[in-house]
Amino acid sequence: MLEIPLDIRGVIIKIFEPNKEHIWCAPFLWRGVMRNWLQNIDSKSSRLIEGIIAHDGENRGSIHARGAGVAARTGQIDMACRIIQSLLDGDEITSTDMARIRALLSDERKSIKILLNRQRQWPRNRWNLHDVPAWIIPAWIKAFRREVSNEQISIISGGHLLAYGNWYWYLPEYSTDYTVERLPKKMSSAP
């Protein structure tokens, strides 16, 4: 059985590997390499897919790609698949899906804006987002880097649909790459 991440990358793999059985996993626990999946598709589709992946969690760029990313991260797989397939085929996206995309992006943007409150860090550079689901953290990290600081930080988040518990995210200075580990059950703050 093929393990794929519950995010835009996993949806893309699902589209290009429709006959393989798969099991979803939390995106930050997936150890696969997306580049391997893009080797076997034509260059035009590969560039489009790379663009869709790059827009996930951003606040600018293709509304369709960003909407597909939020839909995938929140477990709305059928919607994410429809959007990506429409982009690949050059088809119009339905007005119903466009309304849902706008609502998803609006909700994510509002949530991130609220979470960028500096009072959520204690001590300094340790962001306590333990009440926030882990699916939003990658988008929060991009917004944090763009709007707040390039300092080294750590984040404590809540769980994921597929990974219970609280998670400790480490983000090096000037990077959007992160490492993640599960916090011990009895621990209320990061090591």
Look over the chain and give the mean of its residue pLDDT values, rounded to a whole number. 93
Residues 156, 181 contacting (CB under 8 angstroms)? no
Residues found in the chain: 191
Residues 149, 118 contacting (CB under 8 angstroms)? no
H helix runs in the chain, sequence order: 8-16, 34-38, 43-55, 63-73, 77-89, 95-115, 137-147
Residue 155, pLDDT > 70, answer yes
Residue 189, pLDDT > 70, answer no
Query: What pTM was estimated for this model as a whole?
Result: 0.90
Q: pLDDT at position 187, please?
A: 58
